[in-house]
Amino acid sequence: MINGRPICLFDLQQPLAVGPWRIDCVELPYPGEKRYPHEGWEHVELVLSGDPQTLHARALSHLADEALLAPGIKLKQSSPKGEGERLPNPTLAITDGTVTIKFHPYSIRDIVASEQD
């Protein structure tokens, strides 16, 4: 459960190739009340391993100032909580209103493993 919604995790034996990335785990949350005006990827989550307290600065350092200052770009900081979650999991979300990139300090596997202890 994340933010009160059940999620399913799928470990892929063969990673999905999306541009330069190899995605070996897919998280599918149960639909919530929010409705989206388009079909497709709603967001992608990237892991920047390291100190959770420096996540925001580390994430922003990977993005060009011009991109962050472009019209329609919004930033949001949050800390979603899973049931039994023991690791701090701050999030920096950057969106253009269509697709969102979310940065985390831990992978979903690390978060799930922390709940098993």
Asked whether the predicted pLDDT for residue 32 surpasses 80, the reply is no
Task: Quick: pLDDT tens for 42-89.
Answer: 788 899 999 999 999 999 999 999 999 999 999 999 886 666 667 888
Task: Quick: pLDDT tens for 93-109.
Answer: 999 988 899 999 998 88
Contact of 89 with 106, CB cutoff 8 Å: yes
pLDDT of residue 80: 67
What is the identity of the amino acid at 61? S
pLDDT of residue 50: 93
Asked whether the predicted pLDDT for residue 41 surpasses 80, the reply is no
CA-wise closest residue to 45 among 11, 71, 70, 21: 21
**The domain 7-34+41-115: what is its CATH number?**
3.10.180.10
79 three-state secondary structure: coil
Q: Which segments of the chain are extended strands (E)?
A: 7-18, 21-29, 43-47, 74-78, 91-95, 100-104
Asked whether the predicted pLDDT for residue 110 surpasses 90, the reply is no
pLDDT of residue 81: 65
State the residue for tokens 């979310």: 102
